[in-house]
Amino acid sequence: MMLVDGADPVSIRIHEKLIGLTPNAPECCIFRVHTQLRKTNEKAYEPQLLAIGPYHRGKDDLRLMENHKLHYLQLLLHRRRESNVETYIKAIRELEGRAREFYAEPISLTTDEFVEMMLLDGFFIIELLRKRTMKVLMDEYDPIFQLGWMFYSLMRDLLLFENQIPFFLLTKLFEMTEVPNRQNNLIDVAIHFIRVSLPCGGHICLSCDGSLQNIKHLLALVYKSFTSPSVEIGIGWSIVHEEEWSSIPSAIELQEAGVKFKKLDKGTLFDIKFNNGVMEIPLMKIEERSESIFRNLAAYEQYSQNNHLKFFTGYVSFMGYLINSPKDVEFLRRRGIIENFLGDDEAVSTMFKNLGDNAIVFNLHFAELFRNVNKHCRKRQNVWIANLKHNYFSSPWAFISFLAAALLLLFTLTQTIFSILS
């Protein structure tokens, strides 16, 4: 597109901007979280100790871990009896163009700066995963593993949406530095590492099948490990009216409507079942890092090209309806469905209330569940039976009182009938 002599200045400026405009890359998958999501709890998206990738690089409060990155690289080279990183630099340079396309924003770093960042960040992640999996590689004086708070903070930071680097680059470095006599691939090592950080009691999909071969980054692997095939093809895809799934009563209200709650011992976080008035929910562990993990997985969904796969956003919405007060948390905790490591039921209730704010749900994964629950609650006999059980069968003394009243009523009715007949 050429401009003629004497063109309008505005036309020239727009022409220059169009020339410098970078088209969206098909592999673009690492974004900055937009303001609407951040404003409820901005710290949930910010690293506490570790900067990975370009978005948080160079922040003063994260410089401590830069020395640890160098230290881990030094230990790796020493273990492999190598004197320099020439081979790895060459490999990363060949992948630089593709790696840059993973980021939604243009990266202002030079080629040398970008390659250095990918090298240090990539090997730090790989060595951290390996040390967690292979105890023999641990340094007994490594503060990351000596100080529990540091290790769990790093785990949290590795699962931030803005704190990711391309998984294909990690795979390349992992394969180039493969540990002898070890058959583990990077996906197996990564899942072993993150298992303890997930709010699901350890029930995740561990199969390394073809569906896990196109993982974009570490957070995407965590997300994929939750979505078992039974979830993807199971409940939730039938078309329902909005009023049937837009809300459901809280846990306490559902109990009063005759719904029974049980802990589901098998399945991922999304494998929630509702049959014949019984709701089965997998165990969920709530701790300090849980809100950050939920928020970043939901953020990953919001930027996903698969708009119908909003599992975490749907789950957060579901739990937000179910937990309307601290009493609901207490109720679910007593049923073994929630393990509250925050120590305060009100904190859990507030967390889910905040998580539901600004959550954009296009197609709710739990639509069928919502519909069935509301259908159950609309049946008056279920409410009557629940009230009867609650008021007259909740304790032996209540049952005895009810039985005595029933017998007295029956006796009175019989006496009346005999009086009329006589």
What is the per-residue pLDDT across 321-371, written as a single tens digit (0 to 9) for each? 999 999 999 999 999 999 999 889 999 999 998 887 665 554 556 778 888
Alpha helices in 139-289 (DSSP H): 143-146, 148-158, 167-176, 186-194, 218-226, 229-232, 242-245, 251-256
Instruction: Say if residues 93 and 116 touch (Cβ distance below 8 Å).
Output: no
SS3 label, residue 227: coil
SS3 label, residue 162: coil
The partner residues of 280 in beta bridges, in order of sequence, read: 262, 273
SS3 label, residue 284: strand
At 346 the pLDDT is 95
Largest distance between two CA atoms of the chain? 119
**Residue 256 neighbours by CB distance under 10 Å:** 15
d(CA 48, CA 135): 25
The partner residues of 286 in beta bridges, in order of sequence, read: 340
What is the per-residue pLDDT across 158-193, written as a single tens digit (0 to 9) for each? 999 999 999 999 999 999 998 876 667 898 888 888
Name which residue leads in pLDDT, 363 or 4: 4
Q: Residue 376's closest CA among 280, 239, 278? A: 278
d(CA 41, CA 37): 8
Q: Residue 250's closest CA among 173, 174, 327, 196? A: 327
d(CA 53, CA 103): 9
With 50 as the cut, is the pLDDT of residue 236 above it? Answer: no
Q: Residue 226's closest CA among 294, 167, 287, 162? A: 294
d(CA 204, CA 206): 6
What is the per-residue pLDDT across 252-290, written as a single tens digit (0 to 9) for each? 999 988 899 999 987 778 888 999 899 999 999 898 889
With 70 as the cut, is the pLDDT of residue 398 above it? Answer: no
Domain ranges across the chain:
20-184, 230-378, 382-421
At 265 the pLDDT is 85
d(CA 208, CA 206): 6
And the tokens for 217? 């980054």
Instruction: Say if residues 177 and 78 touch (Cβ distance below 8 Å).
Output: no
Kind and range of the H or E element at 120? helix 111-133
Range from 146-150, 160-164, 409-413 that averages highest in pLDDT: 160-164
Question: What do you get for the CA distance between the two ends of the chain, in Å?
Answer: 110
Instruction: Using CB atoms within 10 Å of the CB of residue 342, give its burial: 0 to 12 exposed, 13 to 18 middle, 19+ buried.
Output: middle
pLDDT tier for residue 9 given thresholds of 50, 70 and 90:
confident
Average pLDDT over residues 123-144: 89
What is the per-residue pLDDT across 34-57, written as a single tens digit (0 to 9) for each? 988 888 899 999 999 999 999 999
**Residue 100 neighbours by CB distance under 10 Å:** 20
With 80 as the cut, is the pLDDT of residue 231 above it? Answer: no
The rounded mean pLDDT for the chain is 82
At 234 the pLDDT is 46
